[in-house]
Every structure is written in structure tokens, then in C-alpha cells.
Amino acid sequence: MVTDLAGRIAVARGQAPADTLLTNARVLNVFTGAIVPANVALYRGHIAGVGDYRSGKQVIDLGGRYLAPGLIDGHVHPESAYLSPGQYARAVVPRGTTALVTDLHEVANVRGLPGMRYYLEAARRTPLDVFFMVPSCVPCSPLETSGAVLTHRELRRAMRWSHVLGLGEMMNFPGVVGADTEVLAKVAAAHALGRPVDGHAPGLTGHDLQGYLAAGPGSDHECTSLGEAQEKLALGMHLMIREGSTEHNLEDLLPAVNDSTWPRCMLVVDDRTCLDILREGDMDHVVRRAIALGLDPVRAVALATLNPARYFGLRGYGAVAPGYVADLIVLGDLTAFDVQMVFKRGKLVAQDGQPRFRPAQRDDAVVRDTVRVKPFSLDALRLESGRDPFPVIEVVPGQIVTRRRDESPRREDGVIVPDVERDLLKIVVVERHHATGNIGRGLIRGFGLRRGAIASTVAHDSHNVMAVGTNDADLAAAVREIERMQGGLCVVENGQVLESLPLPLAGLLSDESVEYAADRLDRMQRLAAERGCTLRSPFATLSFMALPVIPELKLTDRGLVDVLAFDFIG
């Protein structure tokens, strides 16, 4: 270590050649907002100096292109891409993402600490730094059945792992506001170690918000309106502005970023499918869109580099400056934000959108064979209720929040059935971790399907089997195909599987390439559209319909949940 520092100082003082010298660069200075012409000297994975350096063992002429710090995704669930850790790195690193912060909440809800260990160990074999926030809510609420339960005791142990930064998003905001003992013990465990606590407080305002913040959460990524974002910023929170596959909040929230608030704002992805990553990009897409919406380009980069690094205490990350880690991206056009080269700790790891690395294999036995569905008959899917009107989940396009609509449903022989003419489809959640036989049933509007059914084991946050369809026979066939594959996505019509994407790793991740997974997902989305589906990303949207901590109405394996009341609808 001392030798490395001495060598770095020698290069910085011009007394020794750089390992790699990047010449003729236009450097984005995220501290000042300026763009300055300079050469950048790299030594053993770090930046030694930025200026008029002339000597390097390897010289790369950037020809006037822009040089920026590698992008840091400050809040993401990489499992939502349906990719193994190595394939996820292959997808996002060529697009400029060199580090991310995640709570691995999804795999934790399926396999607990062993599942998280699998992901972290596999990620270490890639040129992508994965920093970890211990998941605070496994399960996220007592209103569903998860594959694992993590108490404050397990969280205390995990907080001492390497690369652990703090406590992940505290989704159980009613538990915080209501001073639940176990919930507060988790928060206190992070405070005792001086670690940050991420927040999750959709729609929380007034005294309830103040009560939530009094417990210590420092960030929020669930704002959907400008007023909500401004209130939280005014109370000291860090605002994470997300733009994922189903969560499109950037345009509405960007006006909250100004000369006073920008140091406490970040751009994040949260959830993004492999298909959207390949088609549009990852963090580069979010930065590109922020620039297109009028944000100064250097400030946009700062919101995706320096700001998350500072919030999470990632010393040496997030800037092109002496002593910083040499995670760098080269851009040809700042507005287009076209990432042409990616350096990880000074090594060229991607060029022209293609990775220059091959992920090492990792034993994944701990996350296999996780789907266990108790055998059921068609009668088990029957929706019987004397309630009229009946509460219906209504999808909000571009959001993961839903609305509650009370409708008079169609009935046959006293049983509630789908009504495709009114876009009232059947939705079911089948428990798959312990073969309990739990099946939640309800109605949903907003998918538009007129034939068949779709299903998935990616169903935040407990990841039971979730299906939406026009008839019980196709719903049952879809659930059985999911069980046969040991997790995945599928499209079914007339009892036949039209297409599927197996996700055998925890029922969340493919063991195939990113290209394979994206192609299968693309084909399924087109098949769904041909059957009337009006959603751009139907499987990503479906994945949030079981999340009982996002208002207003959701369905778990235990029944319909009024999220605002944090209780079941009788």
C-alpha cells in the first residue's frame, strides 16, 4: 500500500511515467461544473494526476473526446434484469455503469443470506463494483409469504461483511411510524455502526413523514410528484430520481433539482429489464434523458457519480481527480451520451458497446430448486365473493403505484369471472416457497389482454408465482409451466405455452446469456401485445402488482391488500 502511494505520488509530480496516459481529453469536472482540456495519468488503478502530463508506458489518444467518471447506480435491484451477476455486468458495464449500490432484496426474499452471498461472490469476479445495503424488509410486510425471514440479528451479522454500506430501503414505513420494536431494532443496528439508512416512503407527508424521518432514513426513491419531492428535500432527505422499465419519474421530478438542492439529488434506475438495457441503456439512458430534459450535462453526470459516492461514503469514487479510482468513461458526444470506452481501475473493459471481459462461472446450487407449488385444481382459482362493487387493482401507466376502483364484476353461477370487454382480468398469486397452498385472487384493469394469460415468479417482493389472464384454464397452465421451469416468465393461450424464459436461479435469474434472455423477453412482449396487451413492459408491470408497500391496492398470496390501511380487504 505504501509503495503504491509512493509510486502514485511520483507519477503525479511528473517524476515517473504513468501506467496509462489518456491524452487530448475533455475532462468533466463534477466539482466545478467545468469541462477542461487535459491529459490524465493513471497508476495502478488510480488517477495520479490531471493536467499537462506527457509520459506514459501506454498512451491512448482520446482525440478531443469527453472523459467522465464511471457511472454509479445508487439504487438498483439488478435481479429485475433477469440476469446472473456475470451477465448483468456484461449488459451494464459497456454502457458506462462501473459501480452500483443494491440491497439484493429480491434474492434475499427467496434464499436469505446464502442467496446474497452467492450474488456478491459472483459479482466480485466481474469489472463491476457491487456495494451492498443489507435488506431491511425480508419479508417487506407480514401480509405475504416469503422464502426467508431476516431479523435484526441476521442483519447485524451481514452489516460486517465487506462491501456493506448500510441498511437498505426501509419499506415498512407503517412499522417505523408505528414504532414497531423489530423494525426499529433494524434501524438501530445501522445507527450503532454509523451506517446510512435508505428510505422508502411513497406518498408519506406531514407529521407521518416527520415521524418516519425522525428514525433516521436519509433517502427516498419513491417520489412520484414534484410536491412530494420538494417536501422531502426540504426536510433534509436525499432525492433519488428513478427512471426504470416501469417507473418513469424523471420528467416530473427533475424541476426539483436546482442550485440549492442538486448536491442531495441522484439519478437511479431501481428496476430495469435486460431488454430495456440492451435497447436503451442503463444509467447512461437516465443521464441522457436528463440532459434531453434540460439538465446541464456536467451536473447530470454529477448526479450519477459524485453525489451517490458522497451519500454512501464511497471514498475515491465519482470524479476524475488525483487519488480517485480510475473508473472512467469516454464519450464522443455529451448530449447523445454515447459511451465509447469504459475503464475499470485503469483497465479498458469495454469498447463501442461491447464487453472486453468474460465473467467467471460461479457455483449456483444455493439458488436452484426454489419453486415449490402445492398441487391445485381449477376450483382453487375460483373467485367467490358477495361483495358488489368489488375492489379492482387499476394499473397506472408508467408507475408502480396502483389505484383502487370498485366495480360491479361479471358473474357466472355466482362466481366472479374475467370480463375482457371491460378489461377486468383475473389476477392470482400462488405461494411457491413452502407449498402452503395459499392462493390470492382478484381482478385487475390495465393489461388489456383479450386472450390467454401471462405469468412470472418475479413478483416483488416475496416473488411468489403471479399470473394475469382471461380464463382460469390458461392461468393454471401458466402457473404449472412456471413450476416446471423452476421459475421464469411465460405466455399461454388455450392451455399451450407460446413462449417462456426460464429463470432457474432463485426463480429470478436466467443462467443463459443476456442476449438470450432479452430475445425471449422481446418475443413474449410481442406475443402479449398480439393478444391485446397495451403495456410496454407487461412482465415488469406485473412484477409490482404483489408489492404490498406501494399504494393503493395490491394482491399477495394471502389476499387483497389495502396498502394505505396496511391491512387485508375482508
pLDDT, average across residues 164-190: 93
DSSP assignment string, 191-239? HHTT--EEE--TT--HHHHHHHHHT---EE----SHHHHHHHHHTTPEE
State how far Cα 480 lies from the chain centre. 27
The pLDDT tens digits for 386-413 are 899 999 999 998 888 999 999 999 999 9
Measured CA to CA, the distance from residue 553 to residue 393 in angstroms comes to 6
Is pLDDT at 361 greater than 80 in this prediction? Answer: no
Measured CA to CA, the distance from residue 174 to residue 561 in angstroms comes to 14
User: The domain 70-316 belongs to what CATH superfamily?
Assistant: Metal-dependent hydrolases (3.20.20.140)
Measured CA to CA, the distance from residue 533 to residue 372 in angstroms comes to 29
DSSP assignment string, 409-422? -EEETTEEE-BGGG
Measured CA to CA, the distance from residue 65 to residue 352 in angstroms comes to 14
Ranges of each domain in the chain: 70-316, 368-568
> How far from 308 is each of 100, 165, 377, CA to CA, in Å?
9, 12, 50
State how far Cα 49 lies from the chain centre. 34
- The pLDDT value recorded for residue 399 is 86
Q: How far apart are the first and last CA of the chain?
A: 63
- Contact predicate 352/80, CB 8 Å: no
| Closest of 150, 129, 152 to residue 139, by C-alpha | 150
Is pLDDT at 334 greater than 80 in this prediction? Answer: yes
pLDDT, average across residues 490-507: 98
| Closest of 249, 244, 184, 197 to residue 222, by C-alpha | 249
The pLDDT tens digits for 269-297 are 999 999 999 999 999 999 999 999 999 99
The pLDDT tens digits for 58-112 are 999 999 999 999 999 999 999 999 999 999 999 999 999 999 999 999 999 999 9
Measured CA to CA, the distance from residue 366 to residue 509 in angstroms comes to 13
- The identity of residue 26, as a single letter, is R
Residue 349 has which C-alpha cell? 473493459
Is pLDDT at 225 greater than 80 in this prediction? Answer: yes
Measured CA to CA, the distance from residue 521 to residue 527 in angstroms comes to 10
On the CB side of 33, CA atoms within 13 Å amount to: 7
Pairing status of strand 425-430 against strand 465-469: antiparallel
pTM: 0.95
pLDDT, average across residues 455-478: 97
User: What percentage of residues in the chain have a pLDDT greater than 70?
Assistant: 100
**3-state DSSP call for residue 264?**
helix
Cell 391496492, residue? 553
Cell 495502478, residue? 44
pLDDT averaged over every residue in the chain: 96
Strands (E) across 277-409 are located at 328-331, 339-344, 347-351, 354-355, 390-395, 402-407
Measured CA to CA, the distance from residue 55 to residue 43 in angstroms comes to 12
> How far from 493 is each of 41, 285, 395, CA to CA, in Å?
59, 35, 22
- Residue 246's pLDDT band (boundaries 50, 70, 90)? confident
> How far from 42 is each of 17, 23, 30, 149, 348, CA to CA, in Å?
9, 11, 19, 45, 12
- Residue 566's pLDDT band (boundaries 50, 70, 90)? confident
Is pLDDT at 1 greater than 80 in this prediction? Answer: no
Cell 416469503, residue? 146
Cell 491529459, residue? 39
